[in-house]
């Protein structure tokens, strides 16, 4: 009887082993595309074109530049960025035809005691543009809708809204715009959790008169997995070859700007991976990443923007970095 039971048990184990031996666990379909994009973003040295310490034609630093194609002018690109001058931060708008050389158009926000930083811009799905930024005093998000290209150039906003802080009594800012129209804006941002570290959040602005937001612990966890102990801050998202990916910053050591690194985030799997950045001089500390698909020289490309912090900059690579590669 015991022999029979033992034989049955061994047979069952053998059958289960055979099933697992023949079963194939397929990797998520986004994996190879993410790996391709990850390699291209990390290879600054091999980019089609690049510019370190980017400034506009007036000499303004283009800090935290967010770039988009202008849907109203063929071959033109727009950037919003902030510049500190004598302690005042203004959110500026500039245009370009080559992604490297930028012509100042105007300041959109910012004045003494009312610093405007960390801008984001997106073409609205029903016409015009939406711009969001981090506004002082009372560190919070502010959003503006410009109903036309002409109004954007002239700084004439049809609607504006100051988003009340809901997740942190300390600070909420550094927006990216997932989607935008004149009536609804989907915004990613960070909140200063418990007055200690920045963490991820997302909110919806409805009709420019109602704001709701929530934390995004899934995004935080993707970077915490890699040992990020400081801020999890700026982010951007982009559709690439059928999948949506994010570009995020993570600070491994709290209060150490030299420990900021960029990560690629996969919205399909909820996983993130650090980018092994390579630059000609070997810079190491990167933050405030953004990326956008564009067409330049008749080819589909991705333009990437990041700050190289002085704590990790090598040679003359510090400041705002802008580069692009073909898809």
Q: Environment class of residue 273 by beta-carbon count within 10 Å: exposed (0-12), middle (13-18) or buried (19+)?
A: middle
Angstrom distance (rounded) from CA 42 to CA 51: 15
50 DSSP β-pair partners: 323
Predicted pLDDT of residue 27: 83
Contact 91, 119 (CB under 8 A): yes
Q: How many CB atoms lie within 10 A of CB 158?
A: 13
Residue 234 has pLDDT above 70, yes or no: yes
Contact 173, 188 (CB under 8 A): no
313 DSSP β-pair partners: none
Angstrom distance (rounded) from CA 93 to CA 103: 9
Confidence of residue 247 (pLDDT cuts 50, 70, 90): very high
Contact 279, 51 (CB under 8 A): no
Confidence of residue 237 (pLDDT cuts 50, 70, 90): very high
Angstrom distance (rounded) from CA 191 to CA 216: 10
pLDDT tens, residue by residue, 124-164? 999 999 999 999 999 999 999 999 999 999 999 999 999 99
Residue 14 has pLDDT above 80, yes or no: no
Sorted by sequence, the CB contacts under 8 Å of residue 229 that are 6+ apart come out as 251, 252, 253, 254
Architecture of domain 31-326: 5 Propeller (2.115)
Tokens for 6, please give them. Answer: 């033992």
Q: SS3 of 85, please?
A: strand
Contact 262, 277 (CB under 8 A): yes
% of the chain surpassing 70 pLDDT: 92
Residue 195 has pLDDT above 80, yes or no: yes
Question: Of the candidates 227, 258, 262, 253, which has an alpha carbon nearest to the alpha carbon of residue 43?
Answer: 262
pLDDT tens, residue by residue, 42-75? 999 999 999 999 999 999 999 999 999 999 999 9
What is the model's pTM? Answer: 0.91
Rg (CA), the chain: 23
Q: SS3 of 312, please?
A: coil
Question: Of the candidates 276, 290, 282, 287, which has an alpha carbon nearest to the alpha carbon of residue 323?
Answer: 290
Angstrom distance (rounded) from CA 247 to CA 288: 9
Q: Would you kindly state where each structural domain of the chain is located, as residue ranges? A: 31-326
DSSP 169-201: SS-EEEEEEEEE-SSEEEEEEEEEETTTEEEEE
């Amino acid at each position: 009887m015991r022999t029979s039971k033992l034989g049955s048990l061994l047979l069952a184990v053998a059958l289960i082993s055979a099933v697992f031996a023949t079963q194939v666990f397929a990797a998520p379909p986004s994996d190879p595309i993410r790996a391709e994009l990850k390699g291209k973003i990390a290879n600054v040295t091999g980019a089609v074109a690049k510019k370190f310490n980017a400034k506009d034609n007036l000499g303004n630093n283009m800090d935290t530049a967010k770039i988009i194609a202008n849907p109203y002018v063929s071959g033109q690109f727009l950037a919003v960025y902030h510049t500190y001058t004598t302690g005042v931060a203004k959110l500026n708008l500039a245009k370009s035809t080559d992604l490297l050389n930028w012509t100042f158009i105007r300041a959109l926000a910012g004045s003494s005691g009312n610093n405007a930083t960390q801008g984001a811009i997106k073409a609205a799905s029903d016409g015009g543009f939406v711009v969001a930024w981090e506004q002082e005093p009372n560190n919070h998000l502010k959003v503006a809708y410009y109903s036309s290209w002409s109004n954007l150039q002239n700084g004439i906003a049809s609607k504006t809204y100051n988003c009340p802080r809901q997740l942190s009594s300390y600070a909420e800012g550094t927006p990216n715009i997932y989607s935008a129209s004149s009536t609804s804006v989907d915004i990613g941002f960070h909140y200063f959790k418990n007055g200690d570290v920045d963490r991820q959040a997302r909110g919806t602005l409805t009709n420019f008169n109602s704001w709701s937001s929530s934390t995004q612990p899934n995004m935080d966890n993707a970077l915490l997995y890699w040992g990020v102990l400081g801020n999890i801050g700026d982010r951007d998202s982009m559709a690439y070859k059928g999948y949506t990916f994010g570009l995020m910053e993570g600070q491994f050591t709290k209060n150490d700007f030299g420990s900021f690194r960029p990560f690629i985030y996969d919205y399909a799997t909820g996983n993130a991976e650090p980018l092994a950045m390579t630059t000609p001089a070997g810079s190491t500390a990167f933050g405030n990443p953004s990326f956008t698909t564009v067409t330049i020289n008749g080819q589909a490309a991705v333009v990437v923007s990041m700050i190289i912090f002085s704590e990790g900059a090598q040679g003359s690579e510090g400041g705002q970095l802008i580069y692009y590669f073909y898809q």
